[in-house]
Structure 1
């Protein structure tokens, strides 16, 4: 079990519950060492100290068992109270409360429909409920050189998840995109389906899939609407305490132009709130508008602020 840091007040009750006569059998230095470990609230440390005391004082094993049992009982109670308090806080949170997120600001270099460098910015927000999760994200890549816009790409998306079981969830997604250099003034997508958390400890992997609908409004005029299928995967792996590898991929497959996107990145923490990210994004459209190439790539270096 993961060590928790719980301070002295609750554990004093635990020690008080131990019979005085039995407690007195332990040598004073051993009692002081166990008390000091309990005051830290570190479960691993408490177990280690008690096992050492059991080795050096085998005749006091029964008393040590009582001390450990009281500690475990108090620890479980504190965990239950903490979980109940956390759930109550989530249930009573207002619309604008309990959001967390990150903002990114940096530069990019692209090739494909436009070969240039420019500025990139993004914002991602997440709100976790008991069974619901809300995710908002937006990104803008923009450059204007000598009065001429050479890149203009915007994305905004909202996704809501409903937890069906510990790993299985349902999702609904709405997304808006604009990219003049890919030939569309607006592209709207909507999808709903099921997702599954394949890996939850160490490396994490979440996948989702479902039917989708997409409407594309072309710069040259006209629009198209298609039924489609969406599949996506989100993989994160903490390589060290400060470096994380990320791989996000999604595919929207339809009878017209299907879209495949892959975003690969490395993120290095500078402090608790700040980190730097290097990423490489490939977007491929199987049948883009006339005048646009099929594959765009984008290399970004950004500074991330988490909150």
Structure 2
């Protein structure tokens, strides 16, 4: 082959390749573009792929241009179900972050869990009579902090004369180090017209620990030093002493709707020691309503002059949980 012939062959090959390239990348026919547009308007990736395949079969010379156009559309198109899923995920993430923010810190805002009860009461000891009472017991956990509030009021009358009048409240703040151990600070106020004390004020701090912690059964103990202030009614003397406080609480879900509670606490001071035990059995009625039976035993080792050592209180209660 002569040099001239070789040059001519190379020129022809280059021209054919250039023509093929131009045809492969030129604008597709208007009818092909119109068919694809109908599929694009549907917004359905499956329709777009099916129509693009058919158009490429009809116009094989423009296959690359058709494929490139269809792929670009598919890449830009986000299916509605994916958008919904992404929106749902974003919403869930936001709600989780908001919840975590609310649960952070001692002053965080979060819901309270607890119960309110109304009771019929039979008492013996320093007060021997029938009475009625109301009580509240609530807790709120915010991150590592747990707020505990309790309050009660009992009132009894016989022949238009007050025969029992007891009320009090307490607040305890726990800081949880982990799943089982916590530190606490506690303050309480109790007033019993027939106890021999004008009132009793206690403040203290300490540590607590769950020996068992689960859904059907939990048992915790806590204790620490404190200070108790107790004015005496008759003598007007004031017992103002350093104190030691210890308590244990057992919660046992015997079966669905039936719960047993046993709480015992002891407050020691040099003049006297107070022991209190509350045993309760609660049965669920329906919804948030329950009934309960409880027995409270209180013992004072050295009560004021003329007062008995022992008081007992039996209660039948209607309880609303929240």
Same fold (TM over 0.5): yes
SS at match of 1:91: coil
* Contact kept? 1:267, 1:275, Cα under 8 Å: yes
Aligned to 1:205: 219
Shift of 1:164: 1.3
Unaligned 5+ residue runs, structure 1?
1-76
Aligned to 2:305: 290
- C-alpha distance in 2 between matches for 1:129 and 1:299: 34
Shift of 1:86: 3.6
1:227 to 242, 245, 249: 242
Per the normalisation by structure 2, the TM-score is: 0.68
Aligned to 1:175: 188
- C-alpha distance in 1 between matches for 2:110 and 2:159: 43
2:281 to 266, 269, 273: 266
Cα distance change, pair 195–121 in 1 and its aligned pair in 2 (3 A): same
SS at match of 2:286: coil
The answer to whether residue 158 in structure 2 is matched with residue 142 in structure 1 is no
* Contact kept? 2:284, 2:290, Cα under 8 Å: yes
Shift of 1:85: 5.4
- C-alpha distance in 2 between matches for 1:119 and 1:200: 34
SS at match of 1:87: helix
Cα distance change, pair 233–94 in 1 and its aligned pair in 2 (3 A): closer
1:66-77 to structure 2, matched below 5 A, reads none
Shift of 1:96: 6.3
Unaligned 5+ residue runs, structure 2?
1-88
Shift of 1:302: 0.5
* Contact kept? 1:90, 1:98, Cα under 8 Å: no
Aligned to 1:194: 207
Cα distance change, pair 263–214 in 1 and its aligned pair in 2 (3 A): same
**How many aligned residue pairs are there?**
230
Consecutive aligned runs of 4 or more in structure 1 exceeding 2 Å deviation:
80-97
Cα distance change, pair 92–135 in 1 and its aligned pair in 2 (3 A): closer
* Contact kept? 2:139, 2:148, Cα under 8 Å: yes
Q: Choose 1 or 2 for highest CA Rg.
A: 2
Cα distance change, pair 155–277 in 1 and its aligned pair in 2 (3 A): same
Q: Which moved more, 1:118-127 or 1:240-249?
A: 118-127
Cα deviation 1:34-53 (Å, max 9, x = unaligned): xxxxxxxxxxxxxxxxxxxx
* Contact kept? 1:180, 1:219, Cα under 8 Å: no
- C-alpha distance in 2 between matches for 1:271 and 1:278: 17
SS at match of 2:307: coil
Cα deviation 1:78-119 (Å, max 9, x = unaligned): 9x9586554234239976652222110010101111211110
Shift of 1:197: 1.2
- C-alpha distance in 2 between matches for 1:168 and 1:185: 36
1:157 to 170, 176, 193: 170
Q: CA RMSD in A?
A: 2.1
Aligned to 1:72: none
Shift of 1:248: 0.4
Cα deviation 1:190-247 (Å, max 9, x = unaligned): 1100000111113101110100110101111121101111000110000010100100
